[in-house]
DNA sequence: AGAATTAACTTAAACGTTTCACATATATTA
DNA sequence: TAATATATGTGAAACGTTTAAGTTAATTCT
C-alpha cells in the first residue's frame, strides 16, 4: 500500500500539503498541486479508508440490515441500494438476520462496532430492539415504517384499495383473504385498504374468510382447508409469495387459476411473471425505494439535525392473467 | 463510544493491561482480569474495529463481489456467506457489479481501499481483471473457477452427464440445446458433459440444434424461432432461468410442457418449484458452496501461504414434472 | 519604509488500538 | 543471602490520516 508519506516524499513536500491538495482544504500553489496530483496518479495512491475513519470518525460505509435475502422482494432492493450507495462513495455492509429477532438486535451492535455511518433497515417486525437506541448513527427504514424513524415505503393502503376496486370491477362477490402477519403494519394496511374499499351500502362483496398467514409460499393447514371449500371466486393474498403458494396449492387440488378461482398478489416480485398464470398484482417502486433510502440516509449523515421524514411511494395495479371476470 | 481508556480508568489500571486481558495475550493476574471483565460488561465496551484495523492491519471484513443479485441463484449464496462469515466474526461488504466488467474491475480497488481481509468473488466472465493482482488479499472464487485462484464450484460436467443419461433413459432422441455463454467455463462444461454422455455408437440421440444464449429468461429471436419448429422433444437449458424463459415462450406459442416438449434446467433455484410444470433440474449444493468459500477464505487469511485449493461440489438430478417419457 | 496582511508550506497532535520494552515486586534457585 | 527467574503491571510508539497552530517569505497597505 502506498501512503501519503510516499507521495509526499516523491514530490519533496510534507504529508500535510499532500493531504491539503487531496481534500482541497488548505492553501497550496497551483504548481505543487499539479506535482502532487501527478505523483498520486503515478503511484496509484488511494487514501486508506481505515486511517481516514480513525481521524474523521466516518468510515464511508453504511449497514444494510435485511430480514431475509431469499425473499425475492429483497435482492432487487439490495442491488439498487448498493449501487446508489456506491455512487455516493459509500460501501455497504450486508447483514441478513434470517428474520431472527435476536440476530437482528445484535446486528446493531455489530454495525456500530464496525463504525458504519448510517443504517438502512427493513425490520422483521413492528418494534425496534433496544440496541438501536445506542447505535449512534442515522437509521432509515425501508418497506416497514416505525414511527420515530425516517422511513420510505409504499402506499400499502392504496394498494389494498386498488385491489378492492379491481375485485369489484371484475364482479367478484365472494372473496377470501390471505392476510399477512398482523404484527407488520404494511400487512395490516393492505388488508384495511381492501376492506374499506369493498364495504359500503352500494357494494355487494362479502369477505367469506380472512386468514393470517406468514409471508411465505408455505400455507397453513387451515388455509389449505379453506382453499378446498370452493366457496370463494377470488383469493386476495397479502403478497406475491403467498399468492404463488396459493396457486400451487390450488393446482394440486385440481382447481384451475383463474378459471375456477382468481388470485391476486402484492409486490410484483420477479416471480409474478414466471408463474402460470402470470400474477395480477400491485407494483411497488422498488428502485425508487432503494434510491430514496440512500438519499435520505446520506443527507442525514452529513446533516444529522434534519427533521424526520417519511416518504410514501405510489403503487399501481398491474393486470395480468390471474383474475377472471365473473358474471352476475 | 466507550473506549479502552474508559474501562482502564474505571478499573484503575493502564490501557495496556485492559488490552492484554481482552486479547488474552499478556500476563495479568486473575484478580485484575476479573475486575476488567466486569468493567467491560458494565460499560458495554466493544473494541473499535477501525482502531483495531489501524493497528493490526485487519478489518475483520470480507468483500463479496457478485455479478447480479437479481439472478435468483445468488441471494441464497449471499445469505449463506454472510451468515457463515458473521459466525467467524467477519462482516461482509457487498458489491453487485451488475455484470459490468468495468465496475467489477473497479470493485477490487474499492475493496482494497476499504481494507477487506479477503474477497469472495463470482466472476462475470472467465478472465480476471488486472486490478485483482494488486489487491493484496486472498481471493476465493465461487461458482466460476479461474485457474490460479482458490475456487469452490459444482461439478458442472457431471451435471451435464446426469442430464444426458436422464434424457436417454426417458427415450428422447431429438433434443435442442440452449447452451449458456461460451465465455463461462461452467456453461461449457455442462454442455460438454451432456454431449459426451449422449454420443456414442450405442446411443441414439441427435442434437438437432445448439444455441448460445445468455443466462436470462429473455430468449434470443433465433432461439424463439427454433422453439417454433417443433423438431425436438426435449430442450436442455443451461440454467433454470433459461428453462423458465423457454417454458414461457413455449406456452405463448401454444406448446404444452411437458406434453408437447420437455424442458430441463440447471441450478435448482427457488423458481424451479413455482413454475408450472415444476422443473426437472440439477441441484447445486449452494449452502455448502457458501460455507466452503468462507472456510477457505478464513483459513487463507490467517495462513496466507496455504496452497491453492479447488473444491468440487457434487450435484444431483432432481426429477420433477417438466420431462415426459417418449415412446419409441 | 515600516507595519500588517496574505499565501504557501511545515510541524505536530490526535483518533483507539496493540505490543515492545521496560519496571517493580515476588518467588525461586544456588 | 545473593543472584536469578517469574509474574504482573506501565509507558510509549506505531499504524495513516486530518487539521489546528506555527513559520517563513512575499505582497499589500499607509
Per-residue model confidence as pLDDT tens digits over B128-152: 999 999 999 999 999 999 999 999 9
DSSP state of B46: -
- Do B263 and B257 form a contact (C-beta atoms < 8 A)? yes
Q: Could you tell me the domains of chain B?
A: 4-56 (1.10.260.40), 61-154+285-315 (3.40.50.2300), 156-283 (3.40.50.2300)
| Residue B24 to chain A, least CA–CA distance (Å) | 20
Distance CA A125, CA B34 (A): 38
CA of A19 to C1' of D19 (A): 10
CA distance A194 to B263: 39
pLDDT in tens, B44-76: 999 999 999 999 999 999 999 999 999 999 999
Q: Which nucleotides of C are covered by protein (CB under 7 A)?
A: 7-12, 14-21
Average pLDDT over residues B198-205: 93
- Full-model pTM: 0.95
What is the tens place of the pLDDT at every residue in B229-267?
989 999 999 999 999 999 999 998 999 999 999 999 999
Pairing of strands B61-66, B262-264: unpaired
Residue A94: which of B48, B70, B94 has the nearest Cβ? B94
**Grid cell locating B114:** 476499504
Parallel, antiparallel or unpaired: strands B150-154 and B316-318: unpaired
Strands B139-142 and B118-121 turn out to be parallel
Q: How far, in Å, is the CA of A24 from the C1' of nucleotide D21?
A: 19
Strands B61-66 and B118-121 turn out to be parallel
Is the pLDDT at A281 greater than 80? The verdict is yes
| Per-residue pLDDT tens over the stretch A86-131 | 999 999 999 999 999 999 999 999 999 999 999 999 999 889 999 9
| Residue A253 three-state SS | coil
Could you tell me which chain A residue has the CA closest to the CA of B67? Answer: A79
Strand C contact at CB of residue B1, distance < 7 A: yes
* Contact present, B231 and A261 (Cβ < 8 Å): no
Nearest to A79 among B50, B96, B248 (CB): B96
Nearest CA in chain A to B80: A96
Other C-beta atoms closer than 10 Å to the C-beta of B256 total 12
B134–chain A nearest CA distance, Å: 9
CB contact under 8 A, A61 and B270: no
Q: For residues B247 and B277, what is the distance between their CA atoms, to the nearest angstrom?
A: 9
Are residues A94 and B64, on separate chains, in Cβ contact within 8 Å? yes
Does B188 score more than 70 pLDDT?
Answer: yes
Segment B111-136 shows an average pLDDT of: 95
pLDDT at residue A328 in the model: 67
Contact B91 A110 (CB under 8 A): yes
| Minimum CA–CA partner of A248 in chain B | B274
- From the list A82, A217, A251, the residue facing B94 with the nearest CB is A82
In this prediction, residues A229-248 reach a mean pLDDT of: 95
Instruction: Return the residue in B94, B120, B245, B246 with the most chain A beta carbons within 10 A, the one to mutate for interface testing.
Output: B94
Amino acid at each position: 500500500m502506498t501512503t501519503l508519506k510516499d507521495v509526499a516524499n516523491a514530490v519533496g513536500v510534507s504529508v500535510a500539503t499532500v493531504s491539503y491538495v487531496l481534500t482541497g482544504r488548505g492553501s497550496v500553489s497551483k504548481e505543487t498541486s499539479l506535482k502532487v496530483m501527478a505523483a498520486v496518479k503515478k503511484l496509484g495512491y488511494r487514501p486508506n479508508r481505515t486511517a481516514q475513519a480513525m481521524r474523521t470518525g466516518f468510515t464511508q460505509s453504511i449497514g444494510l440490515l435485511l430480514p431475509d435475502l431469499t425473499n425475492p422482494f429483497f435482492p432487487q432492493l439490495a442491488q439498487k441500494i448498493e449501487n446508489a450507495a456506491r455512487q455516493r462513495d459509500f460501501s455497504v455492509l450486508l447483514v441478513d438476520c434470517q428474520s431472527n429477532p435476536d440476530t437482528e438486535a445484535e446486528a446493531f451492535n455489530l454495525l456500530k462496532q464496525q463504525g458504519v455511518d448510517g443504517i438502512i433497515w427493513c425490520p422483521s417486525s413492528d418494534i425496534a430492539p433496544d440496541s438501536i437506541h445506542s447505535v449512534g448513527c442515522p437509521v432509515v427504514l425501508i418497506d416497514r415504517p416505525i414511527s420515530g424513524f425516517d422511513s420510505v415505503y409504499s402506499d400499502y393502503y392504496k394498494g389494498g384499495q386498488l385491489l378492492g376496486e379491481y375485485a369489484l370491477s371484475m364482479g367478484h362477490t365472494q372473496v377470501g383473504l390471505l392476510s399477512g402477519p398482523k404484527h407488520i403494519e404494511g400487512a395490516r394496511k393492505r388488508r384495511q385498504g381492501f376492506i374499506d374499499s369493498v364495504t359500503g351500502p352500494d357494494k355487494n362483496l362479502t369477505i367469506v374468510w380472512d386468514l393470517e398467514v406468514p409471508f411465505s409460499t408455505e400455507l397453513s393447514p387451515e388455509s389449505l382447508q379453506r382453499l378446498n371449500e370452493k366457496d370463494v371466486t377470488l383469493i386476495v393474498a397479502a403478497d406475491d409469495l403467498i399468492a404463488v403458494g396459493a396457486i400451487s396449492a390450488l393446482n394440486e387440488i385440481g382447481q384451475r387459476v383463474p378459471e375456477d378461482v382468481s388470485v391476486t398478489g402484492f409486490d410484483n416480485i420477479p416471480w409474478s411473471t414466471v408463474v402460470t398464470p402470470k400474477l395480477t398484482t400491485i407494483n411497488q417502486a422498488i428502485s425508487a425505494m432503494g434510491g430514496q433510502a440512500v438519499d435520505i440516509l446520506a443527507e442525514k449523515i452529513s446533516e444529522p439535525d434534519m427533521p424526520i421524514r417519511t416518504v410514501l411511494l405510489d403503487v399501481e395495479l398491474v393486470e395480468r392473467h390471474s383474475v377472471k371476470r365473473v358474471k352476475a
